[in-house]
Structures are given as C-alpha cells and as structure tokens.
Amino acid sequence: MCGMSQPPNNRSSATPPARPDASMSLLTHVMDHGLDEGYAQATAQRRADGTAGLPRTLKAKLGLAAGLVIAAMVVTLGAAQARVSAPVLAKERQELIDRVKRADEHADGVERDIERLRGTVADRQRAALKQQGGGDEGQLVGLLSGATEVRGPGVKLVVDDAKGSSSGGGGGPRESAGFSDTGRVRDRDMQRIVNGLWQSGAEAVSINGQRLTALSAIRAAGDAILVDNKPLVPPYEVLAIGDKKRLGPTFQNSADGQYLHVLQESYGIRYGLTAENDVRLPAASSLTVRTATAEEPKKGAS
C-alpha cells in the first residue's frame, strides 16, 4: 500500500519573519512614543482653551500676581531712589564748593588785614625813629630783614626736574647718598643755589613767592621741598635782587653755579638764568623778632 505524499510545509509563506529588535520592545516603544498620550491630550486641550502655560488654580494665580506686584515695586523704588540721589549728590557737591569759596575769601581777608597791620606798624616804626633821630634806618632794616616788600633790578633763575625723572637714575653720587631718582631737584640743591646767589651779591631772594630771610630754612619732607614749612612745586622760580649785570655771571662762575651746571650735564636737571629790569619780592610771611632791647642814651646827649 502506498501512501500519499504530504505537501511540503512552507512556514515562510504563512508567518512573517521576527524583527531583529523584538527583544527590545520597551526601548522601541519609548523611541516611537516619546510623549505620553495623556500629556499630549492635556496639552492639546489647554492650547484649544487658550490657557497653555498659565496657572490653573487660584493659589497659583495669586502667587503669580503677587510676584509681579513685588517686581513692579522694586523697579519703581529703584527709579525713585535714583531720582532722589542725584539731587542730593548735587546739593552736597555745591555745599562743599561753597565752603571752599568761603574759606578762600576768609583767607584773603586775613591776608589783607595782615598787610594793613604791617603797613601800620611800619609807619609807627618810622615815626618813632624820626623822633629819636634815626632817620630812615628802620626802612633799611626792614628791607634787609625781609619784613617789607622790595623791588628793583635782578635776575630770575628757573630750576626744574629732568624730563622723565620719575624713572630714576643709576649709579651716581646722588643715588649713593640715598636718592633713587637722580633727576629730581633736592632741598640741598636749592640750598646751594640760594647760598650761591647770596654770595654773588644778591640783596633779597625768594623761591616761588616765598621771601627768604636770615631765619629761613630749606628742608625736605619726603620728595617735597619746604621753605619755612611751606611746600613748593616745581618748576622752582628763584628771584634775586641785585646788580643784574654782575649778579648772573658772578653766580655762574661760582662753585655753586658750577654745581648747578653739573646737575644739568650729568642728570638732566633743567635751569635758565635771565637778567630782569624789574623784580618784585613780597615781604616774608612769617618774621619773628627773637630779642629786642632799647639802646641806652649816650652820656652827654641831650
């Protein structure tokens, strides 16, 4: 008995082949459906109602309104403070300017009073000397002591620091003496200049308007030069009254004049000397009489 042959089983035509990522169904679902359908529906509903991005509850709405009010108040207060502070600063600045002006006016008034009293004292001194037969000796003493202003021919010497002197020099005798900036004019330089003018025949000397007397001192305070405790600023203008034809050449040929020339050649300190027909020197700002005695009348004098 012969049996009937069965048709071949063709599974490929009946069942589709399995996907290679069948074991990663969860990851595939996440990739294909990135947004949950519930969230998507809720978002679509809010967009349709026009309430997307806004709080839904009353508490949230009140919180948002309170935040907006606080922000508006901060901005308003900041603007108001800026508007108020500007006038206050301007007022304080004007008050300071007014105080400086009043102080300057007071100082000018004191200077005028000093000049008036100085003139009164000089007049009384001359009158007293004339009564005692002293003549004009009081005026001569006042000129020599610096108590009165003086005017006449002379010279003008302007001394200034070297250009770029703040960079300092290197390896000179001025630096070895303790000064790192060799291009700056020092107090000892001004001392030698003034002494050289006196020795060359100057009758009266001033530096930057400060009259020098026998009691004047030229000192240093840091990098500043002080004349009778008053600071000076370069350039230094030295005025000297004397014979204008002889005073300048005599000073330049003196040891102190040669010292100033060395400062110019070696360290770049600048100076210029000119003869002047009319030089005016003020009276000394502070002149203290240390001792004063009355001269006893000579025997036999009436």
Find how far residue 301's CA is from the centre of its chain: 66
Rg (CA), the chain: 48
Peptide bond into 235 cis (omega under 30): yes
User: Is the whole-model pTM more than 0.85?
Assistant: no
Nearest to 151 by CA among 297, 283, 31: 283
- In CATH, which superfamily holds the domain spanning 151-281? Protein of unknown function DUF881 (3.30.70.1880)
Cβ atoms 216, 228 nearer than 8 A: yes
Question: pLDDT at residue 3 above 60?
Answer: no
pLDDT of the residue at 235: 93
- Report which of 270, 271, 265, 273 is spatially closest to residue 163, judged by C-alpha positions: 270
Tell me how far apart the alpha carbons of residues 30 and 35 are, in angstroms, rounded to a whole number: 8
Could you tell me which residues come within 8 angstroms of residue 103 by beta carbon, excluding any fewer than 6 positions away? none
What per-residue confidence (pLDDT) applies to 87?
74
N- to C-terminal Cα separation, the chain: 195
Confidence of residue 172 (pLDDT cuts 50, 70, 90): very low
**Residue 244: which residues within 8 A CB-CB, separation 6 or more?**
153, 154, 155, 275, 276, 277
Of 58-67, 97-106, 188-197, 262-271, which gets the smallest average pLDDT? 58-67
Of 157, 233, 162, residue with least CA distance to 196:
157
Residue 224 pairs in a beta bridge with: 221
Closest listed residue to residue 268, CA positions, set 136, 164, 190: 164
Question: Which residue's structure tokens are 């709080």?
Answer: 55
Q: In this predicted structure, what is the pLDDT of residue 64?
A: 76
Per-residue DSSP letter, 222:
T
11-42 pLDDT, tens digit per residue, is 445 565 665 655 556 666 666 665 556 666 76
The DSSP H or E segment spanning 270 is strand 270-281
| Sole residue written with tokens 């009946």 | 14
